[in-house]
Amino acid sequence: MRIGELAKATGTKAETIRYYEREGVLPAADRTDSNYRDYTDGHLATLTFVRRARELGFSMSQVRELLALSDHDDKPCENVDQLVQRQLVEVKRKIADLSAMRDELAQLLRSCQSDRIGECRIVESLGRRN
Amino acid sequence: MRIGELAKATGTKAETIRYYEREGVLPAADRTDSNYRDYTDGHLATLTFVRRARELGFSMSQVRELLALSDHDDKPCENVDQLVQRQLVEVKRKIADLSAMRDELAQLLRSCQSDRIGECRIVESLGRRN
DNA sequence: GCTTGACCTTGTAGTAGCTACAGGGTCCAT
DNA sequence: ATGGACCCTGTAGCTACTACAAGGTCAAGC
């Protein structure tokens, strides 16, 4: 299949697919006579895997690790488990950070009762004294 | 005050302060005879404002907007309000996205009962068939 | 007076993960 | 043979810093 078809099938831009190839998360495809990339179903599966992992917030290097691990059918999957575990912790941390932001922003909004900047609690709360 | 002092006072690296100057979120300071930047308390207040806004997730261009707005004491602060509102919505959206990620990651972890990659639900769920 | 070390200066390049060209080649239908 | 849709490579841009390199300044200590 050509790059455009693979792109459509996975919701990925062709440029991104080529980028993934350069970054080593998608093996280079064979080329046609006219030098077009020719992808297999294996490529489709791998790209789906990569996109899914990226959607779950794994970094490119983590994706590389996951791919390397998933290539060894017979090895224990405790390492995969660990990567997922670590990512889960990271995501939870981000949620906590954002929740704090959300609360502070909501607090800011509640604090502003005035209508002129000069008396605006928001501007004041952020630390500006003119 | 010199850049190092301002840096320490605000928990910002000197390089970041110079970057903020280039980006127009912190006015250029006067220079001493030896060409060192010489900051005022006004700079300290502005930098505190900028850092706080950045911590709350505002982008640099939003920070620029907030600064521009906060310069007009007599104008209504409804625009400030709107910016905060919009940022709150955005933060909530990110929290929702991350919560979905968290749930999926947790689900992945629960799904993996096997110990070999070949049978690993995690690898399978991500879309890889070898 | 000279050195040492901490500070400051500019300018440039790197980070992550794409995305968007420019400038060119290929292929198929009309 | 011409148009349009696709493909190719290579490079530059995006955000918000961060990290140098190569050099200038200044106060303290000998």
**Each residue's pLDDT tens digit, B50-84:** 999 999 999 999 999 999 888 876 777 778 888 99
Q: Which of B84, B109, B129 sits opposite A105 (nearest CB)?
A: B84
Shared domain for A11 and A62, answered yes or no, is: yes
Separation in Å: D5 C1' and A42 CA: 26
CA–CA gap between residue A64 and residue A76 (Å, rounded): 17
What is the biggest distance separating any 2 CA atoms in chain A, rounded to whole angstroms? 71
d(C-alpha B45, C-alpha A57), whole Å: 36
Whole-angstrom Cα distance, residue B21 to residue A5? 46
Could you tell me which residues are beta bridge partners of residue B31? B37
What whole-number distance in Å separates Cα of residue A8 and Cα of residue A4? Answer: 6
> Is B122 at the interface with chain A, CB within 8 A?
yes
The burial class, CB within 10 Å (0-12 / 13-18 / 19+), for B30 is exposed
Residue that wins the pLDDT comparison between B128 and B20: B20
Question: With an 8 Å Cβ cutoff, is B123 touching chain A?
Answer: yes
Q: Are residues B68 and B40 in the same domain?
A: yes
- Number of separate domains in chain A: 2
Same domain, B33 and B71: yes
In the numeric block, which tokens belong to residue A126? 């952020």
Q: Assess whether B2 (CB) lies less than 7 A from strand D.
A: no
Q: Name the nt closest to A15 by C-alpha to C1'.
A: C19
Q: Is the CB of B33 under 7 A from strand C?
A: no
Whether the beta carbon of B113 falls within 7 A of nucleic chain C: the reply is no
Tokens of A72: 């060894």
Asked if strand D contacts B87 at the CB level, meaning under 7 A, the answer is no
Is the pLDDT assigned to residue B130 strictly greater than 50?
A: no
- What is the pLDDT confidence band of residue B110, given thresholds at 50, 70 and 90? confident
Strands (E), chain A: 30-31, 37-38
Reading the block at residue A92, the tokens are 């939870």
Gyration radius of chain A over CA positions: 23
Of B84, B95, B112, the CB nearest to A81: B112
Which residues on B lie below 8 Å from A92 (Cβ)?
102
Does residue A62 share a domain with residue A32? yes
* Interface with chain A: mutation pick from B71, B98, B130, highest number of A CBs within 10 Å: B98
CA–CA gap between residue A43 and residue B85 (Å, rounded): 43
**Same domain as A14, residue A42:** yes
Percentage of chain A lying above the pLDDT 70 cut: 85
A89 touches chain B (CB under 8 A): no
- Among residues B54, B56, B68, the alpha carbon closest in space to that of B19 is found at B54
Q: Is the domain of B126 the same as that of B111?
A: yes
Domain end position, chosen among A40, A58, A75: A75
B85: tokens are 């509102």
d(Cα A60, Cα A57) in Å, to the nearest integer? 9
How distant is C1' of C18 from CA of A22, in Å? 12
In which band, very low, low, confident or very high, does the pLDDT at A130 lie, cut at 50, 70 and 90? very low
User: Residue B51: what are its φ and ψ, rounded to 5°?
Assistant: -60, -40
Is residue B94 very low, low, confident or very high in pLDDT (cuts 50, 70, 90)?
very high
Which residues in chain A are closer than 8 Å to B48, comparing Cβ atoms?
Answer: 126-128
Domain that holds residue B32: 1-75
Q: Are residues A108 and A123 in the same domain?
A: yes
Q: Which of A36-45, A120-129, B7-16 has the lowest mean pLDDT?
A: A120-129
Flag whether pLDDT at A68 surpasses 80. yes
Segment B100-120 shows an average pLDDT of 78
Q: pLDDT at residue A129 above 60?
A: no
Same domain, A65 and A82: no
Domain identity same for B66 and B87: no
Q: Does the beta-carbon distance from A129 to B98 stay under 8 Å? A: no
Q: What does DSSP assign to residue B37?
A: E
- Whether residues A47 and A103 fall in one domain: no
